């Protein structure tokens, strides 16, 4: 049986080789702890692709004013 679930550890190694610890945080939490990392000028360079997806899914939509991740149906072309 296939699933889209992914299990990841929440442990972090604390030494010089693993010093950019923000790489191990979920993307939405990185934005709260390190707001300079989610600046549009730095986000592609600083965060992993997975963190960017996690961060963007909790952004508040300017159309529906909810964290809809671009799926709101209020705007129709």
Distance CA 34, CA 22 (A): 8
pLDDT, one tens digit per residue, over 43-70 is 888 888 888 888 888 888 877 888 876 6
For residue 37, give its domain range: 14-77
Residue 57 lies in a domain: yes
Q: How many domains does the chain have?
A: 1
19 confidence band (pLDDT: 50, 70, 90)? low
Considering only residues 2 and 48, tell me which one the structure prediction assigns the higher pLDDT: 48
3-state helix, strand, coil in the chain (%, to 5): 40, 0, 60
Examine the pLDDT at 20 and tell me if it is beyond 70: no
Residue 5 lies in a domain: no
pLDDT, one tens digit per residue, over 27-43 is 888 888 888 888 888 88
Residue 24 lies in a domain: yes
- pTM for the model: 0.58
Considering only residues 48 and 19, tell me which one the structure prediction assigns the higher pLDDT: 48
């Amino acid at each position: 049986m296939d699933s889209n679930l992914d299990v990841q550890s929440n442990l972090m190694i604390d030494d010089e080789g693993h010093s950019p610890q923000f790489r191990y945080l979920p993307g939405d939490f990185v934005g709260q702890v390190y707001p300079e990392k989610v600046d549009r000028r730095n986000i592609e360079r600083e965060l992993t692709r997975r963190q960017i997806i996690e961060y963007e899914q909790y952004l508040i939509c300017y159309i529906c004013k909810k964290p809809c991740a671009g799926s709101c149906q209020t705007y129709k072309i």
